Amino acid sequence: MPELPEVETTKNGLLPLLKHQIVARAVRHRDNLRWEIPKLLETLLANQTMLDINRRGKYLLMRFEVGTLIIHLGMSGSIKVVDSSAALLKHDHFELIFEHGKSMRLNDPRRFGAVLFSEDGSHPLLDTLGVEPLEDEFDEAYLYNKSRNKVQNIKTFIMNSKVVVGVGNIYACESLFASGIDPTSQAGSVSKKRYALLTQHIKNILKKAIKAGGTTLQDFSQVDGTPGYFTQTLSVYGREGEKCNHCSGKISRLIQNQRSTFYCKNCQS
């Protein structure tokens, strides 16, 4: 699933190509993804200038004078910018065709993504989101204060988007490993000192992943089609049975909340 670094990478790739460009047409190549793609977009966005592109959690927010286009990449989605004359690919489900000859296409094989619209930029899906992990509000005391009396495991806790957005499965595993924290620990039992360390590693790992263009495991690729290169630096994720980079042990895997957790029993206690 594309996580915060992948969505941030997509946003950064789109901005220089599409900001201040005029939409000639919006095209729905299917009626729905996770939810219906609003039909009104086909007329509403015609002749509109894309004023800016922002990110909130894993959502891309494309701002026009008439409102905000909200896009989520779902489990397998990616966005490409190509010449508008280029042939459509299988699973290209939504498209913005621009007057300068380029086309932005959302490709989503599993169709768990979303294309939504808001006149004022707000939406129920955005209203419940927690803090952004790369902003100042996410400081060394934030997770500790939020975790008090929480009995759920710490990995599930830091992946809760109502607590902090964008710390998906890959980056949760990597951050817990870097912090030496057992992923099965109860969130409320972890010390303030360890939460301070975890907060810093979450920030650092997300920044490194963004700089590397995200992580490509299966479907994700950047706006220009290149993969994300953070895959090459993963310490634990996807490495079950392989030797730990920091000790003589091997990487283990367990299932938490129907997701695979990768960790080192020696290094994380």
Which are the catalytic amino acids?
Answer: 2-3, 58, 259
At 11, which amino acid appears?
Answer: K
DSSP 240: T
First to last CA, the chain: 28
Q: Which two tokens stand for residue 71?
A: 């896009």
The phi, psi pair for 199, rounded to 5°, reads: -60, -45
Q: How many other C-beta atoms lie within 10 A of the C-beta of residue 110?
A: 14
Rounded Cα distance, 149 and 161, in Å:
18
Q: Where are the beta strands (DSSP E) in the chain?
A: 23-28, 52-56, 59-64, 67-72, 78-83, 92-98, 102-107, 114-118, 251-256, 259-264
The strand order across the sheet containing 23-28 reads 23-28, 92-98, 102-107, 78-83
